[in-house]
Chain A
């Protein structure tokens, strides 16, 4: 039998003490770091917001894209509520937030635009109030019209119209979409096209990544001069240049879409600022300039995000 005294005499107290103290110290330091270094809420909401299509259509149940981004960040909303964004946005959101991509609740076509049949419009201004990006112009008893370049295709103007004179039409951008031809995957990755390219591009990589827009940008697809030299050396006789031309068109379209999303967002912000001003009584003798209003709206947005 080992006596208790013997155990106590051989117990490595110093070692136990050192490990306890170290564990405690590390725990405290890490806890403190966790508290101090919370990721900035505003940056995170921004990151989510940038992925959304900025149609401000409110189909997600939130009054715009940014409120939805805030709800996703706070964990109040799932990531599958954005029909205009479609599968692409869903996948990107899943990647960013780490939430599993659930199937979309419903789908819609982001490439439609609203058009008012002006002969039937009675000038009620109801659609003007509904438009989240102020893309409808007109006045009482005067025919309204949609600024085509500003319309996001959110369909919010359809329900308020008493005479159903608003149509949805395919936008010109949508007509141009040519899906990249599904060439048979005959590429053997021989790499013969790489030395053939006079612009130092890697056609083989461009070919394999032809549906990944970010990758195409990294691989400098824009530098392709469509000289068709890669077509000539390709042992599988793939129509490489034709594929690149189509991929270029898609890349352009993607860029255009991103650009108009930013534009729609700023119009939505301007509208919010205008409505906020309307609800406030005019106190001073000087009206704030539009620039002031935007700055103020941005400040409010930032403080809302950080709540």
Chain B
């Protein structure tokens, strides 16, 4: 089994959740129109992913596997993720009212970010210890944040670029995301 650092780096670059595994594309497209909101979203997602990864891993090895209830994984993991997101929102509203105001509806929407659920489900096969789960979750969150911020920066530049009319808006974002994805494919085999 690879060591935690390898798991972290793999999740960030080689198996990047957005660019290589194509998970969490909705917030990737939705929350990347401004660099500052992308930063906030990246931080919130990193927090939720790391915490949800650890908690769902513990839930899995303490309750689901011993009781033979593996079929409940998806439902219970979703419940855990929703709880962590709620918790994150409460914390954020108390400590960073301005940021909370700025992110608006995107914080509750982390619940429906499939990349978060994917981390929890992939842990079942990948993680052999809590440390693995922690690093896997953090790596996935960092990878998501990395491409989100990169893409937001590119979009801010695209705003100024002279894009042909048929490509304006979503089409050019899709093409850009595709090229970014190709670049990340280059990490495969490292």
Contacts and interface: CB of A to CB of B under 8 A. Distances in A.
Contacts of B175: none
A48 to B, nearest CB: 11
Interface of A: 12, 14-15, 18-19, 22-23, 26, 29-30, 33-34, 37-40, 43-44, 47, 95-96, 98, 188-191, 194, 202, 204-205
A40 B160 CA distance: 41
A39 B101 contact: no
A47 B86 contact: no
A23 B161 CA distance: 50
A19 B72 contact: yes
Given A30-B86, A191-B161, A205-B160, A19 B93 contact: no
A26 B97 contact: no
Contacts of A202: 160
Interface residues of B, number: 25
A23 B87 CA distance: 14
The 10 closest A-B pairs by CB, nearest first: A37-B94, A26-B83, A39-B94, A33-B90, A14-B67, A191-B160, A189-B160, A15-B69, A37-B90, A30-B86
Interface string B59-82: 100010001110010011001100
A22 B76 contact: yes
Contact of B97 (A12, A18, A47, A190): A47
Contacts of A33: 87, 90-91
A34 B72 CA distance: 28
B162 interface: yes
Interface in B97-126: 97-98, 101
Interface of B: 59, 63, 67-69, 72, 75-76, 79-80, 83, 86-87, 90-91, 93-95, 97-98, 101, 159-162
B79 A95 contact: no
A37 B95 CA distance: 8
A32 to B, nearest CB: 10
A43 B67 contact: no
Contacts of B76: 18-19, 22
Contacts of B161: 189, 191
A98 to B, nearest CB: 8
Contacts of A29: 83, 87
Contact of A15 (B72, B90, B91, B97): B72
Contacts of B86: 30
A79 to B, nearest CB: 14
Nearest to B67: A14
A221 B68 CA distance: 64
Which of the listed residues B95, B160, B161 has the most CB atoms from chain A within 10 Å of its own CB?
Answer: B160
A191 B63 CA distance: 59
A29 B63 CA distance: 19
A40 B97 CA distance: 10
A190 B67 contact: no
A26 B52 CA distance: 13
B72 A18 contact: yes
Given A19-B76, A190-B162, A191-B160, A43 B83 contact: no
